[in-house]
């Protein structure tokens, strides 16, 4: 709450890449880890373009049980390899309390996906860890519910929380979700926590990612998390919303014209 934390909190993604300062922190990478060549290749490309951290899902919350569920532990190992090659901190989603210990050991930033924003047992356990937590806003959650979920983590002693606006479900179906940019202003007023925006899951369309990223920065976001894939038409998950490494490099150039990046 701002009342007790008048100053903005800074959260280190790992290796001194701070979210919440004057610089923009851009996290980029594929929706899912698919192979060694894919994740290492994308990691090198986003690092060269100026990303602060690498994202990639290993445990995937898919709507259909018949869809690709992620590479699991092998995916975590490949993320570690991509980190060893590029030096980028790795961000990946946790789905189960069973994996808290392993994630704390193996990854730099633990992502709580929209579908688990109110998995209170998971939030409580993450409150006992020392790793930064990227807390996505729930599919249909209010700002207050989202901030209360952040409180669950912080109440356990872990104050390293980064909020992530990723769009909410509305009556509109043209976009995958509706990006609530006013939420960025609201949480910056109500909370001391840094907030990043995920235009990829918000829009669900790759061609919208660039403009919505710039809009998020104009609204005061501390950073972005963007899906980047080497071959979007053949991605195992979320290809339609994934931009290519070249498009990402172009976006980073535009972002740097607005603000320095981490």
- Binding-site ranges for ligand PEP (CB under 6 A): 31, 57, 61, 113-115, 136, 166, 198, 201
Considering beta carbons, is residue 180 or 198 the nearer one to ligand PEP?
Answer: 198
Q: Which of 132, 162, 157, 158 shows the shortest CA–CA distance to 147?
A: 162
According to DSSP, the residues that pair with 261 across neighbouring strands are 24
Query: How near is the Cβ of 156 to Mn ion at its closest, in Å?
Result: 27
Element holding 213 (H helix, E strand): helix 206-218
Site track for Mn ion across 158-187, x = CB under 5 A:
------------------------------
Three-class secondary structure of residue 226 per DSSP: strand
Query: How near is the Cβ of 256 to Mn ion at its closest, in Å?
Result: 25
What dihedral do alpha carbons 64, 111, 39, 11 form, nearest 10°? 160
Q: Which does 176 bind (CB under 5 to 8 A by kind): Mn ion, ligand PEP, none?
A: none
Contact between 90 and 65 under an 8 Å Cβ cutoff? The reply is no
Hey, how many other C-beta atoms are within 10 angstroms of the C-beta on 16?
9
Considering beta carbons, is residue 34 or 198 the nearer one to ligand PEP?
Answer: 198
Considering beta carbons, is residue 8 or 164 the nearer one to ligand PEP?
Answer: 164
Query: How near is the Cβ of 235 to ligand PEP at its closest, in Å?
Result: 11
Q: How far apart are CA 221 and CA 19, in angstroms?
A: 10
Tokens standing for 66?
């018949």
What dihedral do alpha carbons 174, 135, 60, 50 form, nearest 10°? 80
Residue 162 sits at φ, ψ, to 5 deg, of -115, 125
Q: Quick one: which segment of 124-132, 175-183, 203-211, 232-240 binds Mn ion (CB under 5 A)?
A: 232-240
Q: Is 31 an interacting residue with respect to Mn ion (CB under 5 A)? A: yes
Contact between 129 and 111 under an 8 Å Cβ cutoff? The reply is no
According to DSSP, the residues that pair with 90 across neighbouring strands are 54
Considering beta carbons, is residue 1 or 64 the nearer one to ligand PEP?
Answer: 64
Query: How near is the Cβ of 30 to Mn ion at its closest, in Å?
Result: 8
Residue nearest to Mn ion (CB): 31
Query: How near is the Cβ of 5 to ligand PEP at its closest, in Å?
Result: 26
* Among residues 93, 165, 180, 238, the one that binds Mn ion under rule CB under 5 A: 238
Considering beta carbons, is residue 198 or 210 the nearer one to Mn ion?
Answer: 198
Element holding 93 (H helix, E strand): strand 90-94
Q: Is 34 an interacting residue with respect to Mn ion (CB under 5 A)? A: no
Query: How near is the Cβ of 177 to Mn ion at its closest, in Å?
Result: 12
Site residues (vs Mn ion, CB under 5 A): 31, 238
């Amino acid at each position: 709450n701002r009342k007790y934390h008048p100053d903005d909190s800074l959260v280190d993604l790992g290796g001194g890449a701070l979210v919440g300062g004057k610089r923009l922190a851009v996290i980029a990478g594929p929706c899912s880890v698919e192979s060694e060549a894919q994740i290492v290749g994308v990691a090198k490309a986003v690092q060269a373009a100026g990303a602060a951290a690498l994202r990639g899902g290993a445990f995937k919350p898919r709507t259909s049980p018949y869809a690709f569920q992620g590479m699991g532990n092998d995916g975590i190992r490949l993320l570690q390899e991509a980190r060893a090659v590029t030096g980028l901190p790795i961000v990946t989603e946790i789905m189960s309390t069973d994996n808290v210990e392993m994630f704390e050991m193996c990854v730099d930033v633990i992502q709580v996906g929209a579908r688990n924003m109110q998995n209170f047992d998971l939030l409580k356990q993450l409150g006992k860890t020392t790793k930064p937590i990227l807390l996505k806003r729930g599919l249909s959650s209010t700002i207050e519910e989202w901030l209360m979920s952040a409180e669950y983590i912080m109440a356990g002693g872990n104050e390293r929380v980064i909020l992530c606006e990723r769009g909410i479900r509305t009556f509109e179906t043209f976009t995958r979700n509706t990006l609530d940019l006013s939420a960025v202003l609201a949480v910056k007023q109500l909370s001391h926590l840094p907030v990043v925006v995920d235009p990829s899951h918000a829009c669900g369309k790759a061609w919208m990612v660039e403009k919505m990223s710039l809009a998020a920065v104009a609204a005061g976001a501390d950073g972005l998390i963007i899906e980047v894939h080497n071959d979007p038409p053949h991605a195992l998950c979320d290809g339609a919303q994934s931009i290519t490494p070249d498009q990402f490099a172009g976006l980073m150039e535009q972002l740097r014209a607005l603000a320095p990046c981490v």
